[in-house]
A and B are shown apart, each in its own frame.
Chain A
Amino acid sequence: MTVDVEKIITDKAEETRKTFRALLDKTNKEHPHPRDLKALSDLLSGNRKLELWRDVASAAYLAEVMVIENANATAGLKECWKHRLQVLKKDLGYDDAPMLEQLLIQQAALCWLKLNLVELSYSGTMKQSITLTLGIYWEKRLSAAQRRFTRACETLARVRKLSRHTPALQFNIAANGGQQVNLTK
């Protein structure tokens, strides 16, 4: 991947992050102003052409490539990791998941890979005689990777739990005898 592509993705992701952050700060309260909520809703669904989720997916893909390419491993091992990552995503239900869950599955898989790589380096470093500073540094990196992975799994679980109670789409079908049947998709 060329540096230019990396820069474009990074800049776009940064821009999206700023837009999101500003609107989220305004709307994340019990009674948000309807105008702000509408602006956020428009940003997500109204402006379909913007396809903001693509920015998130691109940034995650770039991170995935960077994590694998910069790992201290042979080319063969890197290919195995790529394959393992795809299998993990599939196991987490990537193929049939809604778009938001797909992004979260991608994030959880990425965090899992990073955690494994850090653990590998950590155990390799700990075998040698090392300084206290280096030991603390690796401990911190491992804790950060574990925290990221836990958080990613928690978010995925939370969204799945909440979305179970929030049907994405509901059809109301008028049945014979004046009764109404509600279907969810």
Chain B
Amino acid sequence: MNNASVLDFWRGVLQKRGKREGVAQMGWEQRGNNRYFYRKEREGSRVKSVYVGRGEVAQMVSKFQSSSAELEKLMQAKKAIEANKLERVESALDRAIELAQLFTEAELLTAGFHTHRRQWRRKRDDR
């Protein structure tokens, strides 16, 4: 892909975006007759606009930023799937362990033991 075709590609992308009339594009601001691209940065409770530029370079930066946000979203979705899988494993493990503990307690209780301050004891006359 040469430089001209790269620019054509970006023009195409931007033209498609331009069809959405009345929808403001994130980061682009109209000042006079020109549109300028600003990067938004948060400083505590304030959001600061940092000037990036205008023209085709700014368009490319703008596109890159929007695609990295999409990438971020995809990464987050992947992490959510992994976390869900992990949670399922952990809950299966917890369930199995709790069941084994309950079964043990039941066996000990029927064998004549009981707990006293978290210590298993047996009635004196049962020995």
Contact = CB atoms under 8 A, between A and B. Distances in A.
Contacts of B105: 20, 24, 28
Interface residues of A, number: 49
Contacts of B108: 159, 162
A29 B114 contact: yes
Given A30-B123, A103-B100, A158-B120, A20 B95 contact: no
A84 interface: no
Interface residues of B, number: 32
B108 to A, nearest CB: 7
Contacts of B113: 162
Interface SS of chain B: helix
B102 A20 contact: yes
B107 A63 contact: no
A106 B110 CA distance: 22
Contacts of B100: 56, 60, 103-104, 106-107, 152, 155
A99 to B, nearest CB: 9
B69 interface: no
Nearest to B108: A162
Given A158-B120, A162-B120, A166-B111, A59 B103 contact: no
Interface string A13-28: 1101100110110011
A95 B78 CA distance: 42
A37 interface: yes
A32 B114 contact: yes
Contact of A45 (B88, B110, B120): B110
A62 interface: yes
B65 interface: no
Contacts of B116: 30
Given A63-B93, A159-B108, A28 B115 contact: yes
Given A24-B105, A52-B103, A162-B120, A30 B89 contact: no
Contacts of A28: 105, 109, 114-115
Contacts of A56: 96, 99-100, 103
Contact of B93 (A14, A29, A100, A114): A114
Interface of B: 85-86, 88-89, 92-93, 95-116, 120, 122-123, 127
Interface of A: 6, 10, 13-14, 16-17, 20-21, 23-24, 27-30, 32, 37, 40-41, 43-45, 52-53, 55-56, 59-60, 62-63, 66-67, 70, 100, 103-104, 106-107, 110-111, 114, 148, 151-152, 155, 158-159, 162, 165-166
Given A17-B102, A45-B110, A159-B104, 7 more contacts: A10-B92, A24-B102, A37-B109, A100-B107, A110-B96, A155-B101, A165-B122
